Amino acid sequence: MSALNSLTSTQKSQLRNAFTIIDGDSRDSKITKKDLVALYKTLGLTTPTDAQLNTMLDGEEGINFTQYSNIMAKQLSKFDGRETIQNALKVFADESKDLKDPDFNVEITKLKEAVCSVQLGEIGTGDNRLGRKTFDELVDGFVRDEIDGRKVFMASKWLAAYIE
């Protein structure tokens, strides 16, 4: 069975939406170097080198939706999925809560410090950490104020919204 056939209809729809966003303003139904550079800039990340961009595009001038879907399906098949992400988030969960409870929250400052300090990409390619502003945008709508003044990330609600 091909990796693409292992995707759910929701995942396929999400891939289509992501492809449309990455395709950017050109709307030429291909992801090109120009599209990728624009995406990295929008996310506040260091733009990959020309060689890295060529690798992302499998040496092509651009990739269409079918090629993109196949690449992403292969990458997604490498993840253990929701449980792995959930377990990673639980490392930051409120220690007074039962970690078996599917509805859990994470103190946002601890999570933000950890996530924004991790180097993304290859070592030696520059500072590719997730920016704090970008982090805030990614968790927007999933943070609430507690009575004691702390801010918590509603991890279980985020997982339900974004991770199949």
For the stretch 44-89, pLDDT in tens is 888 889 999 988 888 888 999 988 888 888 777 766 667 778 888 8
Global confidence as pTM: 0.49
Instruction: Give dist(CA 4, CA 16) in Å, integer.
Output: 13
Do 13 and 61 have their domain in common?
A: yes
Do 72 and 15 have their domain in common?
A: yes
- For the chain, how many structural domains are there in total? 2
Cβ burial, residue 5 (10 Å; 0-12/13-18/19+)? exposed
For the stretch 84-113, pLDDT in tens is 788 888 888 866 555 556 677 888 888 899
Question: What number is the average pLDDT over the span 12-18?
Answer: 86
pLDDT of amino acid 64: 92
Domain boundary, last residue among 55, 76, 97: 76
CATH of the domain at 135: 1.10.238
Do 64 and 91 have their domain in common?
A: no
CATH of the domain at 54: 1.10.238.10
Averaged pLDDT of the chain: 81
pLDDT of amino acid 79: 64
pLDDT of amino acid 44: 83
Domain boundary, last residue among 56, 76, 96: 76
Do 53 and 67 have their domain in common?
A: yes
**Domain ranges, residue 106:** 82-162
